[in-house]
């Protein structure tokens, strides 16, 4: 982190105080250097400056990919243990365009997984947020809801899988329930904390302005809790994806987890890796969506920073 701060400092120095280079005659250039040396060091601004990091976020994954490929080029690891990315591209191609009875096709598996993820996430997320509102705004609600959630929080999802199969059968339901549970908990905890952290004086303001209950929720409670709730959303998507992998490897007849299971039976390390990579891409994708949400919803904070 200190490195990043320094970098940021340098960037803001360049942006805010340095004029764009004029088409330089020799004397202009010297005037220009003079200004820089004499000019005060600009104070570091509050918060982070909005920089375009879209491309930058791809750099480190690409470096990892290259290093991975190099292990193959220099024959450091055997191909069956760790197939190189180039090999996996072929595997992925085959999984997409030549569906087999053993594995099905990658896109079908992905769609099935996505459906379970979306459904489970929606159910769990709604429950988590609703319970958080109840728990944060009512003493009775808190007494009723919070201990349960605090207990559920610590239950290992793996341990729940067999129980859920007994309860919900071996169809799609137990998988969705596992995902829902995983999604509910972080959203609950963070939304609850977010609402509790709202400045009590703002509720007082609501009272003075005669806001109705609905107006209070819309204008104070939800926007006030949003920054923290979004942290919960990010954690929830991650937890739900993890839960999906676990759930799908048991008694599934489709989806990415199923594909991994099958590949394990057939000793196809490359297929497992392709499926896992798709999961990581899902991780990147959900993160990207949350980022977009944050940028939209927290514009009032970034404006502070831009000024």
Partner 1 sequence: MSTLTGTDVVEVRGLTRAFAGRRVLDGIDLQIRPGEIVALIGRSGSGKSTLLRILAGLDRDVTGEVRVNGTVAVAFQDARLLPWKRVRDNVALGLRHENRVQVAEAALTEVGLGDHFRAWPLTLSGGEAQRTSLARALVREPNLMLLDEPFGALDALTRLTMHQLVFDLWERHRPAILLVTHDVDEALALADRVVLLADGRIAHEEHVALDRPRDRDHPDLVGKRNRLLGELGVNTKGQVH
Q: Which residues contact 148 (CB under 8 A, 6 or more apart)?
A: none
Do 120 and 183 touch, CB atoms closer than 8 A? yes
Minimum separation from the CB atom of position 303 to partner 1 (A): 5
Cβ closer to partner 1: 136 or 220?
A: 220
137 makes contact with partner 1 (CB under 8 A): no
Do 181 and 124 touch, CB atoms closer than 8 A? yes
Minimum separation from the CB atom of position 100 to partner 1 (A): 52
Three-class SS state of 100: strand
Do 225 and 191 touch, CB atoms closer than 8 A? yes
Minimum separation from the CB atom of position 54 to partner 1 (A): 24
Question: What DSSP assignment string belongs to 25-66?
Answer: -HHHHHHHHHHHHHSPPPPPPSSPPP---TTHHHHHHHHHHH
Window 164 to 203, contacts with partner 1 (CB under 8 A):
201-202
Crossing angle of helices 222-248 and 256-265, rounded to 10° = 30
Q: Which residues contact 119 (CB under 8 A, 6 or more apart)?
A: 176, 179
226 makes contact with partner 1 (CB under 8 A): yes
293 makes contact with partner 1 (CB under 8 A): no
Minimum separation from the CB atom of position 236 to partner 1 (A): 22
Cβ closer to partner 1: 82 or 205?
A: 205
- The single residue among 189, 220, 233, 259 that binds partner 1, judged by CB under 8 A, is 220
224 makes contact with partner 1 (CB under 8 A): yes
Nearest Cα to 164, choosing from 177, 155, 154, 151? 177
- Residue 3 is given by DSSP the state H
- The single residue among 140, 154, 210, 265 that binds partner 1, judged by CB under 8 A, is 210
223 makes contact with partner 1 (CB under 8 A): yes
Minimum separation from the CB atom of position 297 to partner 1 (A): 8
- Tokens standing for residue 304: 């502070």
Cβ closer to partner 1: 210 or 265?
A: 210
**CA-to-CA distance for 61 and 77, rounded, in angstroms?**
20
179: Cα within 13 Å, side-chain hemisphere = 23
300 makes contact with partner 1 (CB under 8 A): yes
| Backbone dihedral angles phi then psi of residue 199, each to the nearest 5 degrees | -55, 120
304 makes contact with partner 1 (CB under 8 A): yes
Cβ closer to partner 1: 75 or 296?
A: 296
Cβ closer to partner 1: 10 or 299?
A: 299
Minimum separation from the CB atom of position 198 to partner 1 (A): 10
- The single residue among 6, 17, 79, 303 that binds partner 1, judged by CB under 8 A, is 303
Instruction: Please count the other Cβ atoms lying within 10 Å of the Cβ belonging to residue 158.
Output: 12
Minimum separation from the CB atom of position 201 to partner 1 (A): 6
Cβ closer to partner 1: 44 or 301?
A: 301
| Backbone dihedral angles phi then psi of residue 104, each to the nearest 5 degrees | 70, -160
- The single residue among 26, 38, 76, 208 that binds partner 1, judged by CB under 8 A, is 208
Do 194 and 229 touch, CB atoms closer than 8 A? yes
- The single residue among 11, 89, 143, 209 that binds partner 1, judged by CB under 8 A, is 209
- Residues found near partner 1 in the complex (CB under 8 A): 201-202, 204-205, 207-211, 215, 219-220, 223-224, 226, 299-301, 303-304, 307
């Amino acid at each position: 982190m200190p490195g990043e701060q320094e970098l940021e400092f340098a960037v803001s120095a360049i942006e805010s105080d340095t004029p764009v280079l004029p088409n330089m005659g020799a004397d202009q250039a010297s005037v220009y250097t003079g200004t820089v040396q004499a000019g005060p060091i600009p104070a570091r601004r509050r918060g982070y400056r909005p920089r375009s990091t879209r491309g930058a976020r791809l750099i480190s994954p690409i470096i990892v990919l290259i290093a991975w490929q190099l292990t193959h080029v220099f024959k450091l690891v055997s191909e069956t243990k760790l197939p190189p990315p180039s090999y996996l591209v072929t595997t992925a191609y085959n999984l997409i365009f030549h569906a087999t009875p053993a594995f099905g096709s990658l896109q079908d598996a992905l769609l099935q997984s996505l459906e379970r993820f979306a459904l489970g996430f929606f159910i769990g997320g709604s429950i988590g947020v609703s319970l958080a509102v109840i728990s944060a705004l009512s003493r009775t609600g808190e007494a009723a809801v919070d201990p349960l959630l605090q207990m559920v929080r610590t239950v290992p999802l793996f341990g729940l899988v067999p129980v859920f199969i007994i309860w919900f059968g071996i169809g799609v339901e137990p998988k969705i329930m596992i995902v829902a549970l995983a999604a509910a908990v972080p959203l609950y905890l963070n939304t609850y904390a977010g609402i509790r952290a709202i400045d009590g004086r703002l509720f007082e303001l609501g009272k003075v302005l005669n806001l109705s209950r609905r107006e209070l929720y819309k204008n104070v409670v939800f926007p006030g809790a949003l920054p923290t709730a979004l942290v919960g959303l990010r954690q929830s998507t991650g937890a739900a994806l993890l839960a999906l992998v676990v759930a799908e490897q048991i008694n599934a007849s489709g989806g990415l987890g199923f594909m991994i299971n099958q590949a394990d039976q057939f000793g196809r390390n490359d297929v497992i890796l392709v499926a896992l990579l798709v999961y990581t891409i899902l991780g990147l994708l959900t993160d990207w969506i949350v980022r977009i949400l944050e940028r939209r919803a927290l514009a009032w904070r970034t404006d502070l920073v831009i000024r």
